[in-house]
Structure 1
Amino acid sequence: MSFPQSYKLIGLMSGTSLDGLDIVATQFTFDAGAWNYNIEHCKTIPYSTDFENKLKTAHQLSGLDLTFLDKEIGGYFAQAVNNFCEEFHINKEEIDAIASHGHTIFHQPDKGMTLQIGCGQSIATQTGIKTINNFREKDVLLGGQGAPLVPVGDTLLLKNEADAFLNLGGFANISIPKQNNLAFDICPANIVLNAIVQAKNLDFDFDGNEGRKATINKELLSQLNAFPFYHQKAPKSLGLEWVESYIHPLLTANSYADNLGTFYAHIAHQISRVLEEHKVASIMITGGGAKNSFLIAKIKEKYSGNIILPEDDLIDFKEALIFAFLGVLNLRNENNCLAQVTGASRDSKGGNTFEP
């Protein structure tokens, strides 16, 4: 069966750092055996405080209320896409599909379960565009972690840009295409930093300005670095449940300054340890943390290789871009979840498709 050589998709990403919905319209072309991409339009829609709180507490809802929230978020995503298309004069008939990551509420692959909400049928029906979502569940049911999924994009779209790729979002995760697509979550990042600075009524630590004034508690740092997860072999992944079970209890007995400064040191230590252990010569960093110059400086203190910070569009929208690409592979009936990355029993084509 032959497939088109060019696709236009809208990618949606709502991350655990809760900073908003990332939307990207991208043209993908397949030429001479290689994939290329062009980000045509992109935008982040910040969440209101009320909406952010709904997502933050969603894991505490009853099954019925969570179902209602799933529909509400699907409608929210759909309206965001409609507004995006209107703002940038995008002809919806030219869009092959919307690829939506959804918003992760639960991630417990060891129990065969992961849940990203944001009703795909609601998105498709309210936008009039075919929608693909739920990219992780099949991999989990095949015994995998359901994460990370970005490495297939790193390999097929970006592998010549750096030896490895680090995303600094809610969690720090890495992919190393040149080492058999090795990829895994390293440690929590913005999901914890953001929670700490909320004590100062801040949504996040802009450019690490709070971190620069913070202090390091050596005992707390030792406790954080001692978690068994950091010594497990890949594949492995993290979720909010792990943070609530292991990280938050350690932060209750220390000062704001100690918690913040120590967690910055913890992130830098874990990332640099992984980079040195795997002899990574160059690393491209994307995600919100890439714009935190204090965090980047802390990593540079411990890592001797070359750090690459790409243009802002790639820093801010790489995950939305790659989920759009996962949608392309789904449309072509090609595998977009790699067993060697996730630990599943086989490669698979993730994603459920909803027609308008």
Structure 2
Amino acid sequence: MDVVRTAIGLMSGTSMDGIDVALLRTDGRGFIERGPFLGVPYEADFRQRLKRALELARPLTDRNGRPAELRDIELELTQRHAIAVMAFLERFGISANAVDVLGFHGQTVLHRPDEGLTIQIGDGQQLAQTTGLSVVYDMRANDMVHGGQGAPLVPVYHAALAGKFQQAGQAVCFINIGGISNLTFIGTDGRISAFDSGPGNTLIDQWVEMQTGQAYDPGGEIAGRGKVVAALADRYLASPFFRGNVRRSLDRGDFAPLRAGEASLEDGARTLAHVAAASIIQSTGFLPETPSTYIVCGGGRLNGTLIAEFSVMAEGLGSNVLTAEEAGFDGDAMEAEAWAYLAVRSLDGLPLTFPGTTGVGAPVTGGVLATP
């Protein structure tokens, strides 16, 4: 009989806006019971510290290398995760003794899949000692050791959630619009395909922050007042990333931000929302069949302008578009839930990645276990 465990997943994504904390009871297979969720935002000063970490990581060639300043940021990030866990337990009246494991993503500061290099800062052993809980962390590395891209890792969780759609004979595609967008496709035959699909929120966030000082475009309101600048959109959509039959995972810096003066605030935001939507459609051209249903997750689903653009494009191809909530899920919690699910799979030695998700040669497990 498969063991059902209680796990907490911790996710700090490429948007660098905060820590997502979610609880899941699962056997790491087909049994999933979703629990509460808490988002813990970063202050502006710490977001700047994380941006500094990206700069410090850029010249690194050793994934275990930590210059002193980067190590300081790593320790602060880890401490913030520990505080977030304790706040989560207190908020929802959960005893630490009831939690079997934490799934800890850390913060990706460098991802160069073509070089077999991925770096996530976050000290799993320190987190275990601080919280008194077992921690599974560093879940990307083993995939890359075995020839995979190290991303995306969420697809195995998406596949577990897709059951009700598959029972209806539908090909379903989960779209996660974070800093970078990625997709998971589960075909009518149950086959999984997954890959990064292009820029998501990062370009929009960078543009809005540069122009206004605010961290993002709330609800896509700024973009909603603008128009698409075709020449700028075409420049992004002509990227070599969208050509060729080999899908690759992306780093936050793979698509350069708009430069000051290239568009008005509103037109720049609208153009980049269009690019995010069109990137997904271009990337779905590599799927074996057209999805019947798209389920949109991640912070980008809250950008009304982006979602309206994507819905028109998808519906023009005969596909239905649902937000995670419309499909019965929690779009804010899903990635953190996935890290909880992956941690349980790691404890049982089950595969986290597959040839159809990261390009790894054969299904492979991953993660490092730290105990208090």
Post-superposition Cα deviations, 1:193-252, rounded to whole Å, max 9, x if no partner, equal 111111112211111100011222221122111111011324311112313xxx22x534
Letter of the 2:72 partner, please give it.
F
Answering whether residue 9 of structure 2 is matched by residue 36 of structure 1, we say no
Letter of the 1:7 partner, please give it.
R
Answering whether residue 179 of structure 2 is matched by residue 170 of structure 1, we say yes
Aligned positions of 1:94-133 closer than 5 A? 94-133=98-137
CA displacement at 1:254 relative to structure 2:
0.1
Structure having the higher helix fraction is: 1
Letter of the 2:14 partner, please give it.
T
Task: Give the match for residue 311 of structure 2.
Answer: 300
Aligned positions of 1:1-356 closer than 5 A? 3-4=2-3, 6-29=4-27, 35-61=30-56, 63-161=67-165, 163-178=172-187, 180-198=191-209, 199-243=211-255, 247-248=256-257, 250-255=258-263, 256-275=265-284, 278=287, 279-304=290-315, 305-311=319-325, 314-356=330-372
CA displacement at 1:313 relative to structure 2:
5.9
Name the CA shift for 1:303/1:276 in 2 (closer, same or farther; >3 Å).
farther
Q: CA RMSD in A?
A: 1.9
CA displacement at 1:277 relative to structure 2:
6.0
Q: Please tell me whether the aligned partners of residues 27 and 344 of structure 2 are also in contact (alpha carbons under 8 angstroms).
A: no
The DSSP-based 3-state class of the residue aligned with 2:103 is: strand
Letter of the 2:268 partner, please give it.
N
Letter of the 1:260 partner, please give it.
A
Cα distance in 2 for partners of 1:315, 1:190 equals 15
Task: Give the match for residue 168 of structure 2.
Answer: none
Name the CA shift for 1:183/1:143 in 2 (closer, same or farther; >3 Å).
same
Cα distance in 1 for partners of 2:218, 2:266 equals 16
Post-superposition Cα deviations, 1:238-283, rounded to whole Å, max 9, x if no partner, equal 112313xxx22x5345023332222122122222233466411111
Post-superposition Cα deviations, 1:120-162, rounded to whole Å, max 9, x if no partner, equal 0111000000001111011112221100111111112334346
Name the CA shift for 1:275/1:112 in 2 (closer, same or farther; >3 Å).
closer
The alignment-based identity, stated in percent, is 30
Cα distance in 2 for partners of 1:16, 1:51 equals 14
Q: State the number of aligned residues.
A: 347
Q: Please tell me whether the aligned partners of residues 3 and 332 of structure 1 are also in contact (alpha carbons under 8 angstroms).
A: no
Q: Please tell me whether the aligned partners of residues 198 and 276 of structure 2 are also in contact (alpha carbons under 8 angstroms).
A: yes
Cα distance in 1 for partners of 2:280, 2:115 equals 27
Q: Which blocks of at least 5 consecutive residues in structure 2 are unaligned? A: 57-65, 166-170
Post-superposition Cα deviations, 1:47-93, rounded to whole Å, max 9, x if no partner, equal 01111111112122372211222222111111211121122111111
Cα distance in 2 for partners of 1:253, 1:233 equals 35
CA displacement at 1:171 relative to structure 2:
1.0
Name the CA shift for 1:349/1:239 in 2 (closer, same or farther; >3 Å).
same
Q: Please tell me whether the aligned partners of residues 233 and 271 of structure 2 are also in contact (alpha carbons under 8 angstroms).
A: yes
Post-superposition Cα deviations, 1:91-128, rounded to whole Å, max 9, x if no partner, equal 11111100011110000011111011111011100000
CA displacement at 1:14 relative to structure 2:
0.3
Calculate the TM-score normalised by the size of structure 1: 0.92
Letter of the 1:307 partner, please give it.
V
Cα distance in 2 for partners of 1:74, 1:115 equals 15
Letter of the 1:184 partner, please give it.
F
Cα distance in 1 for partners of 2:285, 2:363 equals 29
Q: Please tell me whether the aligned partners of residues 196 and 250 of structure 2 are also in contact (alpha carbons under 8 angstroms).
A: yes
Q: Please tell me whether the aligned partners of residues 168 and 190 of structure 1 are also in contact (alpha carbons under 8 angstroms).
A: yes
Which shows bigger deviation, 130-139 or 293-302? 293-302
Cα distance in 1 for partners of 2:301, 2:336 equals 16
